[in-house]
Structure 1
Amino acid sequence: MTVPHLTTALTGPLRELESRILAAQPHIEHWFRSQWHNHAVPFYGSVDLRNSGFKLAPVDMNLFPGGHNNLNPDFLPLAVQAAQSAVDRVCPEARNILVIPENHTRNSFYLQNVAALVHIFEQAGLKVRLGSLNPEITAPTQLTAANGAVITLEPLERRGNRLVLADGFSPCIVLLNNDLSGGIPDILKNLEQNLLPPLHGGWAVRRKSNHFAAYDKVADDFSSLISIDPWLINPYYSTATGLDFHTRQGEDELAAKVESVLARTRAKYREYGIDHEPYVIVKADAGTYGMGVMSVKTPEEVIGLNRKARNKMSVVKEGLEVSEVIVQEGVYTFESINEAVAEPVVYMMDRYVIGGFYRVHTGRGVDENLNAPGMHFVPLSFEKPCLPDRHAGPDAPPNRFYAYGVISRLALLAASLELEATDPDA
């Protein structure tokens, strides 16, 4: 498997950043351990990174990762060990786990992800069963994933304060692989079992702006630790609310926020002598699957959108209307695979990196969202399991991937702070 390459030489600030991360590895790992003593690590997550050659930053953090099938199978042992650690942390006596997948049973690639998750937990020594929220699943139903794997979905039942299956299967851990974009069903409320991630981590409640507010703090603390400018690992952002893309309500406020983020980014580009045109990504503050996203380089581009663009921006998954957006500094990606634009996605379980892949798109540019129809995936070809090679240069593949893992774990830590801050029971 070839290691994806940068289309530009890795020089300047990013090489400096990766060098500092490598040099500070013992301090960084000690710092992470101390953070996890104080904060509950999310059960699992994935982070979309962008590597511009002058900046390495997370642009999205998913608490319900749906691409475990795209991970390099050579590193299954990493995932199994992490799964054992995650389960042990929540319910040391657990023998069983109930996984609740998304309702879109016709997406055979998503079903492949579910099958991969089942395999990880079975290898970790657990009995795994799949309970569905889909009202169409009224009896045990076998479905076939894209790779031929067969999974069985069963209808969920509620008995008292516990989720069970028809035969009484009632484990202490219920794992959501369903992001609750369509709302929180009553059947999931007030359970005595460990429901992970918590309900307020779902898109019915969660906001990306809360995540990046938490990431601001994490990035500042980490940057002080290794003496770097936080901007090198953190995109600027702002939010706009009260929008109605159909009636064009809030356009002027949105344009002002776009200009504000562009101006701050321009100033940084001047400071670092970066000869590129800044851009921003405008995307729904709640939601996923690359819906409700646009890339703009001037504030005028969000004024008077045509009908197609308004329709695209106004609704995300499950038909959720968009009235709040995050306006995020765009981070160019200068990585490519066979001349197609690529961005790394890193997967974690418990506090461990378990692998990742490149999201690749032949039809998109270096300043565009790659989470779009036409994308494909290439597993990250770790030569060693995300461990740095201290005798090699900062751009050697193990060291590149170690840097990816560090920045991704910062986003995971931010997710932990975010969940603490937004916990309705806190």
Structure 2
Amino acid sequence: MVPHLVTALTGPISELEQRVLESVPAIERWFRLEWMEHTPPFYSSVDLRNAGFKVAPIDTNLFPGGWNNLTPEMLPLAVQAAMAAIEKICPEARNLLLIPENHTRNPYYLMNVAQLQLIFQSAGLNVRIGSINPDITQNTEVRLPNGESLLLEPVNRSQYRLELKGFDPCTILLNNDLSAGPPGILEDLHEQFLLPPIHAGWSVRRKTIHFKAYEEVAKRFGKMLGIDPWLINPLFESAQQVDFAQGQGIEALQDSVTAVLAKVRRKYKEYGIAEKPFAVIKADNGTYGMGVMTVQDASELDSINRRTKNKMSVVKDGQQTSDFIVQEGVLTIENIGGATAEPVVYMMDRYVVGGFYRTHASKGADENLNAPGATFLPLAFEPEHVLDAQGHPTAHIPNRFYMYGVIGRLAMLAASYELEKTDPNAEVYA
């Protein structure tokens, strides 16, 4: 199920949200049957946008950071989910090696690593943090903003296994999205479980493959629920071999923008929506909100400045990018303290374990919030002792976070389809 968390949603429930809330038994059964056929990613987070008339995922992360942004009250949910996930993969697991991103300068990212360590320690595992950063050659203690510290240890590679000094793990948890490609140290491991697998990293993953899988999931879910799948699915097109610096491939990118906007205009007309459609161009293998721009017309690509060209050409770890997804822009109606907001849902195994709001005071409802200046607002559990306006306990108040949990799990299911499709070890049948 989905925790009952406080959201920024106020006012009447939309028709889409009402349909979801009225269909909980059917939805939970549908997911249960799906998970009998497919394996969920080990953990994931999904960025959502709620436009009122539609709710859709805009990004799915299979190496989620930000665990430190969840409230302490959510820790038991994460621990229970971690126990279930580990038991399925390695029931006798004792030692877990956690491998973070190579950058060690972001203390808030390292607080996320510390929170993951706490979750898996609470699940009954011995957890140590091993760095594959070549600059980490000896044990390194890093001070965190909350006054605590984190010990990073250099990873050793034997012929077939990863180890730390005096520590031989059976499970290796990556919190490193492998944007620069999988280092050889992680390949050809013997009797060690690598979670998530290497092909879940951004050196292999493509947003277009993910959202193609999500489109399939949305159609099947929409048919079950009796809704137009567009109400939960962002339309998209792709554009390859685009070189912003040299001006190559721009026409093809403009064609993709025009196609997406035309489809969205037709849907807006069908539903009587007066808003102006927009499209979001993203690096197909992008992460960390890099390589992203918003346009309302394809002609805007004729006059972008050098800074934007540079921003769109390079993503994390200095990786050059030339393939893009052109995604339907989804507005957000949520606003917290005057700041534009969007929810982020966190999952482990097949369970929703919490979430928070990403907010940005200087961004509009049609802009990318995953940008410098963003802040994070943890979501609290709905206090059950509070009475609503009719004097009923809030347990009678609909769980408005439930819908976000549903969309998050649909994106997680799409990720499982995606990983099955891109698994280099999967059997191929003629």
**Residue in 2 that maps onto 1:405:** 405
Aligned to 2:183: 185
Deviation string, structure 1 residues 83-126 (Cα, Å, up to 9, x no partner): 10011011000011111000111100000000110111111111
CA distance in 2, matches of 1:81, 1:333: 32
Where does residue 297 of structure 2 map in the other structure? 298
Q: Secondary structure at the match of 2:400?
A: helix
CA distance in 1, matches of 2:244, 2:258: 19
Give the Å deviation of 1:382. Answer: 2.9
Deviations 1:124-180 (A, max 9, x none): 11110011011111111111222222111111111121111122x222110000000
In the alignment, which residue of structure 1 is the partner of 2:414? 414
Q: Contact conserved, 2:6 with 2:401, CA < 8 A, in 1? A: no
Call closer, same or farther: CA 1:384–1:217 in 2, change over 3 Å. Answer: farther
- Kept in 2, the 8 Å contact 1:115–1:145? The answer is no
Aligned counterpart, 1:60: 59
2:8 is aligned with 1:5: yes
Report the 3-state secondary structure (helix = DSSP H, G, I; strand = E; otherwise coil) of the residue aligned with 1:111: helix
**How many Å separate the matches in 2 of 1:382 and 1:74?**
8
Please tell me whether the aligned partners of residues 9 and 400 of structure 2 are also in contact (alpha carbons under 8 angstroms).
no
Unpaired runs of 5+ in structure 2?
none
Q: Equivalents in 2 of 1:338, 1:149: separation in Å?
A: 30
One-letter amino acid of the structure 1 residue matched with residue 425 of structure 2: D
Q: How does 1:353-392 map to 2 (within 5 A)?
A: 353-383=352-382
Question: Unmatched 5+ residue regions in structure 1?
Answer: none
Q: 1:176 aligns with which of 166, 174, 189?
A: 174
Over aligned residue pairs, what C-alpha RMSD do you find?
1.9
Q: Deviations over 1:268-317 (max 9, x none)?
A: 00011011000000010002111110010000011242111101111011
Please say if residues 21 and 398 of structure 2, whose CA atoms lie closer than 8 Å, have aligned partners that are also in contact: no
Q: Partners of 1:89 and 1:3 in 2: how far apart?
A: 31
Summarize deviations over 1:236-280 as a string: whole Å, max 9, x none.
001100111100100000001000000000000001101100000
Q: Secondary structure, in 3 states, of the residue corresponding to 1:5? A: coil
Measure how far apart 1:399 and its partner are.
2.1
- Matched to 2:189, the amino acid is L
2:138–2:154 CA contact under 8 A, matched in 1:
yes
1:400 match: secondary structure: coil
Q: Secondary structure at the match of 2:74?
A: helix
Q: In the alignment, which residue of structure 1 is the partner of 2:198?
A: 199
Amino acid at match of 1:415: A
Q: CA shift at 1:425, angstroms?
A: 1.3
Residues 375/398 of structure 1: CA separation in 2 closer, same or farther (3 Å cut): farther
TM-score by length of 2: 0.93
Matched, 1:307 2:310: no
Q: Secondary structure at the match of 2:401?
A: helix
Amino acid at match of 2:194: L
The amino acid across from 1:5 in the alignment is A
Residue 255 of structure 1 contacts residue 303 of structure 1 at CA under 8 Å; is this kept in 2?
Answer: no
- Runs of 4 or more consecutive aligned structure 1 residues displaced over 6 Å after TM superposition: none
Aligned pairs (5 A) from 1:252-267: 252-267=251-266
Matched AA of 2:228: D
Matched position secondary structure for 1:364: coil
Q: Is the 8 A contact 1:278 1:297 kept in 2?
A: yes
The alignment partner of 1:281 has SS state of strand
- CA distance in 2 between counterparts of 1:397 and 1:210 reads 38
8 Å contact from structure 1 (residues 44, 350) kept in 2: yes
2:309 aligned counterpart, secondary structure: helix
Name the residue aligned to 1:423.
423
Q: Distance in 1 between matches of 2:271 and 2:308?
A: 34
Q: Which amino acid aligns with 2:267?
A: K
Change (3 A) 1:142 1:39: same
Contact 2:100–2:175 under 8 Å retained in 1: yes
Aligned partner of 2:8: which letter? H
How far is the alpha carbon of 1:6 from its aligned partner?
4.4
- The 10-residue stretch of structure 1 (99-108 or 152-161) with the greater mean CA deviation from structure 2: 152-161
Distance 1:384 1:248, change over 3 A: farther
Aligned residues: 414
Q: Is the 8 A contact 1:3 1:397 kept in 2?
A: no
Q: Distance in 1 between matches of 2:286 and 2:148?
A: 28
- Identity of aligned pairs, percent? 59
Instruction: Determine the C-alpha separation between the residues in 2 that align with 1:41 and 1:384.
Output: 30
Q: CA deviation at 1:82?
A: 0.4
For the pair 1:27 / 2:30, whether they are aligned, the reply is no
Does the residue aligned with 2:399 lie in a helix, a strand or coil?
Answer: helix
Task: Judge conservation of contact 1:112–1:149 (CA < 8 Å) in 2.
Answer: no
Question: Which whole-Å CA distance do the structure 1 matches of 2:204 and 2:119 have between them?
Answer: 29
State the alpha-carbon separation in 2 of the partners of residues 60 and 358 from structure 1: 14
Distance change in 2, residues 1:296/1:81 (3 Å): same
Range moving further from structure 2, 242-251 or 141-150: 141-150
Matches within 5 A, 1:116-155: 116-155=115-154
1:85 is matched with which residue? 84
Do the aligned partners of 1:261 and 1:327 also contact (CA within 8 Å) in 2? Answer: yes
Post-superposition shift, 1:5?
3.1
2:260 is the counterpart of 1:282 = no
**Counterpart of 1:142 in 2: which secondary structure?**
strand
For normalisation by structure 1, the TM-score amounts to 0.94
Residue 398 of structure 1, CA deviation: 5.2
